[in-house]
Structure 1
């Protein structure tokens, strides 16, 4: 006999600062830790069931009995959670369930190794839902966990690539200037993002840093402007990146080198009038 398909989760993630979440902070402020405890127990019921909890009159009494609180108090907490968006108001009014996009997303990611894991179309709040509303095949509107898990690594790769350019560009600038700018700075990241969105590459940032360091590094006044706010600003970057690096100057020869070479030429039987130092 086949083992029945498991729907819910055995455990779920809980942020350490969940009591500061803007969707429940007012609820906690209004009902205290007693109300916070009710919220956590509701989350347990939701994840134990999967991604939603049917909030019928029967379930309200059963839940109240479990948490040893009055039905009236529990419903006051739920009403506040609906009001502030912790639970989705429309889905509760239409379907009588407590759910949210966050619950659904975390459930799908947690259950991504299971087969045929989906969100019912009538409860679905995920952006990945299919637009094909074929009435003959309700599965067209199911959200498959494979679709979500496949998109998540791609998103992570993009974020990783973006974070890398922050680190590499700012680190190179610090190395060239001896300064200590942060690649985590929102202002610095915004500047880099702006230039990347215009098609600029990592090599362009390095070129700008090299050019301006060559021009300004030995000038106490101008070296102050070797900073992201100046170098990567839109109004400056386009001009800076199109400037040219100075050609590497050839080391001036020592006059004595000419004499040494001439004497060596003569010693080897060469005619002084035919000596060419450039050869």
Structure 2
């Protein structure tokens, strides 16, 4: 009889392992400090204020919790409205304005009844680049994905290869390295986007530079600040543009100086952006066309 009990226990164990659901969503997602200045959201926030901004953030949470999209049928609309304690009419007004300005993809909603966008999908792919099961459904895919780049989960350059028989210790180690791998992708992708470059976050040389600055206590925001500042200085300078590269920006001798330089754009925004936002809100409330508002003067 004891033998039967052991066999039963093994069967239960196997059943539990087989029943464990595959995780599709994210545990966290990055939120830019100047998201309220995004050209796809600035009108929405101006029209609906902080209530609207709260709805947008909660929608982003719902999308990333699910992966890269969120079903938006009548049922989901009412459930979501109940969760955020806002009238469903108000929530739908915010969503419609987001669709109008391209924060969500209109065709995806019309065809499949989902809220998504190229940006959500790019970020999802970036964060989950080590998941074999994280591919976006072909019918939902708004980005062109190079499978060769995204499927090389266990290549020789990847520092996360551990034994397949993962112990608790190896899982903790893998989790730490996974976080580190995310910073490589975040930093290099941001540089590519801002400077129009095509550097690889898998490059060992780029990883070494980033690791060097991390060992000095630098964080993701420090790298992004350096990229922002030097793009302001060099992006439109033909002679200096070529130096918008990891070997220059993240070298030990340069980084310390660059990270302490102030962004002209940040200083300008601090001085007048609130006045401009108030002026813009009045402009919209008076029934004027948001596209015709003069942000410069």
TM-score (norm 1): 0.51
C-alpha contact 1:109 1:148 (8 A) present in aligned 2: no
C-alpha contact 2:103 2:117 (8 A) present in aligned 1: yes
In 1, Cα distance between equivalents of 2:33 and 2:113: 29
In 2, Cα distance between equivalents of 1:183 and 1:71: 44
Q: CA offsets, 1:79-101, max 9 Å, x none?
A: 00000000011111111100011
Determine if the alignment matches structure 1 residue 121 to structure 2 residue 166: no
In 2, Cα distance between equivalents of 1:183 and 1:53: 37
C-alpha contact 1:128 1:148 (8 A) present in aligned 2: no
In 1, Cα distance between equivalents of 2:78 and 2:154: 37
Instruction: Considering Cα pairs closer than 8 Å and 6+ residues apart, tell me whether 1 or 2 has the greater RCO.
Output: 2
Residue 9 (structure 1) aligns with: 26
C-alpha contact 1:23 1:81 (8 A) present in aligned 2: yes
Determine if the alignment matches structure 1 residue 29 to structure 2 residue 46: yes
C-alpha contact 1:7 1:50 (8 A) present in aligned 2: yes
C-alpha contact 2:234 2:241 (8 A) present in aligned 1: no
C-alpha contact 2:27 2:65 (8 A) present in aligned 1: yes
- Residue correspondences, number: 166
Name the Cα RMSD after superposition: 3.7
In 2, Cα distance between equivalents of 1:183 and 1:79: 37
Residue 155 (structure 1) aligns with: 200
Determine if the alignment matches structure 1 residue 50 to structure 2 residue 67: yes
Specify whether residues 147 and 15 from structure 1 end up closer, same or farther in structure 2 by C-alpha distance, changes over 3 A only: farther
In 2, Cα distance between equivalents of 1:74 and 1:129: 36
Q: CA offsets, 1:173-206, max 9 Å, x none?
A: xxxxxxxxx9752367423458xxxxxxxxxxxx
The alpha-carbon deviation at position 146 of structure 1 amounts to 2.8
The alpha-carbon deviation at position 115 of structure 1 amounts to 2.4
| Structure 2 unmatched ranges of 5 or more | 1-16, 156-184, 189-198, 207-228, 243-297
| Structure 1 unmatched ranges of 5 or more | 131-142, 161-181, 195-279
TM-score (norm 2): 0.48
Determine if the alignment matches structure 1 residue 190 to structure 2 residue 207: no
Bigger Rg, which one: 1
Q: Specify which of 97, 101, 108 is matched with residue 80 of structure 1.
A: 97
Residue 3 (structure 2) aligns with: none
Q: CA offsets, 1:125-151, max 9 Å, x none?
A: 112268xxxxxxxxxxxx98437999x
In 2, Cα distance between equivalents of 1:149 and 1:42: 34
The alpha-carbon deviation at position 65 of structure 1 amounts to 0.5
Specify whether residues 147 and 79 from structure 1 end up closer, same or farther in structure 2 by C-alpha distance, changes over 3 A only: farther
Question: What SS does the corresponding residue of 1:155 show, helix, strand or coil?
Answer: coil
* Stretch of structure 1 that moved more, 120-129 or 57-66: 120-129
